[in-house]
Structure 1
Amino acid sequence: MTARIHLSLRGASLRFAEHLVLDRVDLELGAGERIALVGDNGAGKTTLLRLIAGELVPDAGERTLVAPGGVSALEQSLELPDRATVAEAIDACWRELRELEAEIAEAGAELAGPGGVGLDGPQLDAALARYAALVDRYEARDGYGAPARLDAGLAALGVGDVDRSREWRTLSGGERARIVLAAALASNAELLLLDEPTNDLDDDAWDWLVAALARHRGTVVAASHDRAFLARWTSAIWELADRGVTRYGDGYAGYLAAKAAERERRRLAHEAWLAERERHLALLEANAGRLAAIPRKLDKPGMGAGAFRARGRDHGAMGRIRNAKERLARLAAEPVAPPPEPLRFTAGALRARADASAEQGAPSAPPAAPILRVAGLTVLGEPVPDFELGPGDRLLVTGPNGAGKTTLLRTLAGELPAAAGGVARRGAVGWLRQQAGRIDDPRRPLVEAYAAGLREGRDAAAERLLALGLFHESELERPLGGLSYGQRRRLELALLASRDFELLLLDEPTNHLAPLLVDELEAAVAGFAGAVVLVTHDRRLRERFRGARLELGGRGALPARLTHPLHPPPPSPASPPAPPGKTSVFAGRAAPAPAKSDDTPERVGGAGRSGWVGGAGRARDGAGRARSPRLSRTRPPAPGLRRGRPGAGRSPPGSAPAARRGRTGSRR
């Protein structure tokens, strides 16, 4: 395949109705590059891919694409007739190859001439040249090998046995995505445009995809939030934010380093802004003191050198005060926001108990009571091993699709009754579902939904939401019905970010989040002092997970297994091993809860009553006898996830509105 591809965008802008998606974008793409598109869900990644492919035309600016070896685009959805078959869907993915095959057949028929009589002379030479050029293009893409590549790809992705005559609409979303991915790669186009190619892939299929892209000799542009995928194959990153595109070199590692440096620059700029504000406040106070010390009346006003010097000091101090006030006004009008504080989970009730023990002068912390206890539980008819989770414990739930991972979390959260056995919870539960809940009022503004979730006033909620750094001020009035999946996910995080909890249940928490925010979420989970139960397909998160693992086999498969790390750390005094006969997870502990600070928010609401949630059967002891666990009926604290306090410093008069405008530094 020849390296002749070239793409350029010059001042490209694109809008849908009144919504401006891309604003004066300039881009260059060369042969052999591996570009990853990253950004918040709804930032315009899919739109940019369609613009590159030529499916969309910019409203302003220019697009130039030279790709003699063809373009193949993996779209999240194909536009096909209602009763289209799998074979027809593959043909739609191979549109360029099928068109080239049709042209070759037409050129071959032309060589035979009208009525089967062959051409001669110049006509024959022209027909032969056209036929040879078409065959060269087809062979450059190895079109003859496309069916074999397709079969291999379908088998590797687990859909090799799907009947090609089957109606496309009868397949699941995951099956359709994998078939389209296999067809796109099998086309061997010079430019591959992929939209979230790792979605719905298991580990084996993921490995095959990375290897296939490594073998591809052309250029690849892929929109993805998969951090492990980004780290394995990218040569550069295009980040979409605020309707623009920024390029970062040196792959994903270079992108992370550049973003860290950018964060440090923002921190230093904010500190410089604070220092200048403090300096002018000090000048204002000092000169106000000098002015107050000058006598307002003299024995003989206007007479002598003393009066002249007094008037000079008066005028000088007033001038310095005026200059300081003007500079403070400019600083207030142009605030420099600090970078947002990293996400931080807090377990307020655990911290309060630790503080109470310290105040009582206890020589050592008492044994930590379990936060979650599971006994005799079944999921989809299959038994789940008994276990307990205490403060700092981590449990990763794995298993194939349909094994019951989400069902287990819903049971632990109390959304579903236990079919057998029971679940005991102590304290408040933070529950992040895999799919966002139903929107009751699509017209309701985002800020009002956040305020209602916290049960506080709109203005206070707006300031609190902006301080989290998850939204721009311009997004606060956006109706819920107009939010992207990523924005709804960030709203759910923001609601958790304002509360305390002791148990965190996370079902695919990385869905629809930008990679940098996922990094922060991972760090927040690692530092949380409470207990965590996690379900995730994020390969990087699973690879770096430290804690116990519960593997569900699914209906009729292998029984569920609870495993521990090979080298667990020694138990801390606050978390002793469980007594004999019980399974306890004391691995991958977080650090102790931080000391209580003055900026702890008020607890808001709870996650339901604590205690035992019974099922169809009662929990049993080691000998099989039924037992009745003690119930905890104390009112639980509110669950939550919150951030550290934004930047400190005195605020000059009139600076409060500026603080609202400046926010606490959005991630974008």
Structure 2
Amino acid sequence: MVLSCNNISKEFVTGPVLKEVSFHINEHEKAAIVGINGAGKSTLLKIIMGEMSADSGDVFLSKGASVGYLAQHQEINTELTIFDVLLEVKKDILELSDKMRALEIKMKQADEEALDAVYEDYSRVTHEFELKNGYAYKSEITGILKGLGFEEDDFTRKVNTLSGGQKTRVYLARLLLSKPDLILLDEPTNHLDMKAIGWLETYLKNFNGAVLIVAHDRYFLDGVATKIIELNNCRATTFMGNYSDYATKKKALREAELKAYLNQQKEISHQEAVIEKLRSFNREKSIKRAESREKMLDKIERIDKPLELDASMNISLKPHKESGKDVLTVENLSKSFEETLFENLNFEIKKGERVAIIGGNGTGKTTLLKIINGITPCDTGKITLGANVEIGYYDQEHQVLHYDKSLFDEISDDYPYLTNTEIRNVLASFLFTKDDVFKLVGSLSGGEKGRVSLAKLMLSEANFLLLDEPTNHLDITSKEILEDALNNYEGTVLFVSHDRYFINKTATRILDLTGKRLINYIGNYDYYLEKKETLEAALLDEVPKEDQPLASSANKQSWQTKKEEQKELRKIQNELKRIEDEVAKLEEANAKLDEELANPEIAANVGKLMEVHKHKEANDERINALLERWEELSENV
């Protein structure tokens, strides 16, 4: 065990944040802390690191264990370059290298009598240098920096000239390079693009030490975490498995808690009714019995009502005006600033689609949304909106909110036709309940303001939503609410996001902006990962450079062909899944028939025995036919 937290409690002026929080992290274990914004996740990490004191409780680290900590914001002000900052981590290797050079010179100058002693020192230092991977330290630094999204041209940039997000990435690189026994990471994916997040995910999975992560990136948590520590109502609960395992178990637990709560409430209501009835008899014995029941009722340990979203939160948001079938047509679109972002883009979006635009940082995703929305002009090309299309645009930097209004007034002033109940239902669907609706917009956090903007957008006359990083600053619960809202939305959605889990849950199609052009994937993020290598090779690597503009313009013409091919592929995959399910059921049935055959009563009954044998033979025959069909179909995938 590398870390143990025992009964950690912490209270601020606003109230308790942590109450008797206990958990442990074993060596090599990968764990994640999850919870809504304000649950105390970052506070807990600071207490573990000694940056903040707990009101009570203890933190134990195994003797001699080294710890690396990445906070959400890093301020590294130094004249050193990015590469030199990482070189500081390898100070011991550099010192050994200097010793080796000095001993090499000494060996050349030493007489025969002293040479053996010098050579012995040289062998010892060289061995230590090799053990510390001294010959590969430069490539190790380069690999980590490139993995986190830095180009070789960036290595010589001075750290004090970098943005906050770039400094955080430098600090993360330095932390990973130091290889501590325990790594604590607070929102490590915030400043990484999808490629860098994927690299970090692989690195942490293969990391030999222990890891404790706070993150809202559920796809990342699915890939890395083997244990989830949930902070809820100031308490900690540990779940084994990744995020999806946790979500399944949490749902079952929540349903059980809700059932227990409702059963207890029913019993309390029953007892209160009995007490009231006994009192109404107004007799000494009945009053005493009522008082006795009251005492028993007071002794019951009341179950707190689970924090459950009520049914009104699953509202279906329908645009006031339907668009035509063709929502957006983009033809030969190009845009350059200092360098070309993209050229000759061609794509269409149909009514009801939810299309995700993905790609590395700086590829032009946000610029593309702004061009479609008329905020930024294109260099060449044409944007055509379909009949009755009304755009609604969401951008973290362009939220139209009135800071002096309450949340309730923010909605009611813009949508006066909504009833009070409808306004409360809409706000509740974005996690603003009870007295929250009377909070001033100006007092909200960045994530809460984002939720209000999204609520207004979903209520607008728009039937075509353009969303730029809609999940930024949202906690996991808020993301799930947004996913449900978009999946129930009856309009059309085009969004930019780095949140792979969110994309996987909501996208019906993915446009990958890479190599200055778009590659189309008809499916969610898992489908994109499955087909990425094949389609990239076909559309980018195998197209001669002189033919690429022609290939790009041909993309639109081949769109229908690709769509049909992918439709046929999905049909095959569905049939394969159906066959696999049927085989599993038949094998399960055979297992039960084997149990019957082993039953002495059936064994003694010849007629019944023959019937069971025939049933099993028929199952085996069907399984063989299905497996032949499966093999035949699998050749086409």
State the TM bucket, normalised to the shorter chain: 0.5 to 0.7
2:594 corresponds to which residue? none
1:217 is matched with which residue: 204, 208, 211?
A: 208
Tell me the distance in 2 between the aligned counterparts of 1:527 and 1:48.
Answer: 36
1:514 corresponds to which residue? 475
Which aligned pairs between 1:652-663 and structure 2 lie closer than 5 A? none
Cα pair distance change 1:426/1:82, threshold 3 Å: farther
Tell me the distance in 1 between the aligned counterparts of 2:197 and 2:169.
Answer: 11
Which aligned pairs between 1:521-532 and structure 2 lie closer than 5 A? 521-532=482-493
2:335 corresponds to which residue? 380
Is residue 394–residue 470 contact of structure 2 (8 Å, CA) maintained in 1? yes
What is the aligned-residue RMSD (CA, Å)? 5.3
Is residue 41–residue 485 contact of structure 1 (8 Å, CA) maintained in 2? no
Structure possessing the higher relative contact order (Cα contacts under 8 Å, 6 or more residues apart): 1
1:397 corresponds to which residue? 357
Q: What SS does structure 2 have at the residue aligned with 1:261? A: helix
In the TM superposition, residue 189 of structure 1 has moved relative to its aligned partner by 0.6
Alpha-carbon deviations, 1:418-476, whole Å to 9, x = none? 775443462554443244627653x6555554554544899768844664371454655
Is residue 379–residue 408 contact of structure 1 (8 Å, CA) maintained in 2? no
Is residue 74–residue 180 contact of structure 1 (8 Å, CA) maintained in 2? yes
Tell me the distance in 1 between the aligned counterparts of 2:18 and 2:303.
Answer: 26
In the TM superposition, residue 238 of structure 1 has moved relative to its aligned partner by 1.8
2:75 corresponds to which residue? 79
Matched, 1:198 2:158: no
Amino acid at match of 1:397: I
In the TM superposition, residue 522 of structure 1 has moved relative to its aligned partner by 3.1
Tell me the distance in 2 between the aligned counterparts of 1:164 and 1:550.
Answer: 31
Alpha-carbon deviations, 1:341-376, whole Å to 9, x = none? 4764635357x98xxxxxxxxxxxxxx833623355
1:437 corresponds to which residue? 399
In the TM superposition, residue 164 of structure 1 has moved relative to its aligned partner by 4.8
Report the count of equivalent residues. Answer: 500
Amino acid at match of 2:395: R
Matched, 1:409 2:409: no
Tell me the distance in 2 between the aligned counterparts of 1:349 and 1:439.
Answer: 21
2:225 is matched with which residue: 222, 234, 241?
A: 234
1:504 corresponds to which residue? 465
Tell me the distance in 2 between the aligned counterparts of 1:236 and 1:140.
Answer: 32
Cα pair distance change 1:403/1:270, threshold 3 Å: same
Matched, 1:31 2:27: yes
Higher helix share: 2
Tell me the distance in 2 between the aligned counterparts of 1:191 and 1:537.
Answer: 27
Q: Structure 1-normalised TM-score? A: 0.60
Q: Structure 2-normalised TM-score? A: 0.62
Tell me the distance in 2 between the aligned counterparts of 1:581 and 1:184.
Answer: 49
Cα pair distance change 1:206/1:552, threshold 3 Å: closer
- Structure 1 stretches of 5 or more lacking a match? 106-131, 292-311, 354-367, 568-579, 589-668
1:339 corresponds to which residue? 308
2:237 corresponds to which residue? 246
Amino acid at match of 1:404: G
Cα pair distance change 1:400/1:211, threshold 3 Å: closer
1:547 corresponds to which residue? 508
Cα pair distance change 1:376/1:203, threshold 3 Å: closer
Q: What SS does structure 1 have at the residue aligned with 2:346? A: coil
Is residue 36–residue 236 contact of structure 1 (8 Å, CA) maintained in 2? yes
Amino acid at match of 1:488: K
Q: What SS does structure 2 have at the residue aligned with 1:8? A: strand
Is residue 470–residue 494 contact of structure 1 (8 Å, CA) maintained in 2? no
Cα pair distance change 1:422/1:446, threshold 3 Å: same
1:208 corresponds to which residue? 199
Is residue 466–residue 494 contact of structure 2 (8 Å, CA) maintained in 1? yes
Tell me the distance in 2 between the aligned counterparts of 1:474 and 1:82.
Answer: 47
Alpha-carbon deviations, 1:580-599, whole Å to 9, x = none? 999899999xxxxxxxxxxx
Tell me the distance in 2 between the aligned counterparts of 1:385 and 1:39.
Answer: 41
Tell me the distance in 1 between the aligned counterparts of 2:266 and 2:233.
Answer: 29
Cα pair distance change 1:50/1:140, threshold 3 Å: farther
After alignment, is 532-541 or 461-470 more displaced?
461-470
Amino acid at match of 1:153: I
In the TM superposition, residue 219 of structure 1 has moved relative to its aligned partner by 0.9
Tell me the distance in 2 between the aligned counterparts of 1:230 and 1:461.
Answer: 35
1:183 is matched with which residue: 174, 189, 213?
A: 174
In the TM superposition, residue 204 of structure 1 has moved relative to its aligned partner by 4.0
2:9 corresponds to which residue? 12
Tell me the distance in 2 between the aligned counterparts of 1:263 and 1:214.
Answer: 30
Tell me the distance in 2 between the aligned counterparts of 1:191 and 1:564.
Answer: 41
Is residue 377–residue 383 contact of structure 1 (8 Å, CA) maintained in 2? yes
Q: What SS does structure 2 have at the residue aligned with 1:529? A: coil
Q: What SS does structure 2 have at the residue aligned with 1:348? A: coil
Tell me the distance in 2 between the aligned counterparts of 1:335 and 1:453.
Answer: 37
- Structure 2 stretches of 5 or more lacking a match? 99-123, 337-342, 528-555, 568-637
Is residue 340–residue 469 contact of structure 1 (8 Å, CA) maintained in 2? no
Amino acid at match of 1:219: A
Tell me the distance in 1 between the aligned counterparts of 2:77 and 2:385.
Answer: 48
Q: What SS does structure 1 have at the residue aligned with 2:152? A: coil
Amino acid at match of 1:346: S
Tell me the distance in 2 between the aligned counterparts of 1:398 and 1:79.
Answer: 29
1:161 corresponds to which residue? 152
Is residue 346–residue 500 contact of structure 1 (8 Å, CA) maintained in 2? no
In the TM superposition, residue 36 of structure 1 has moved relative to its aligned partner by 0.7
Is residue 372–residue 383 contact of structure 2 (8 Å, CA) maintained in 1? no
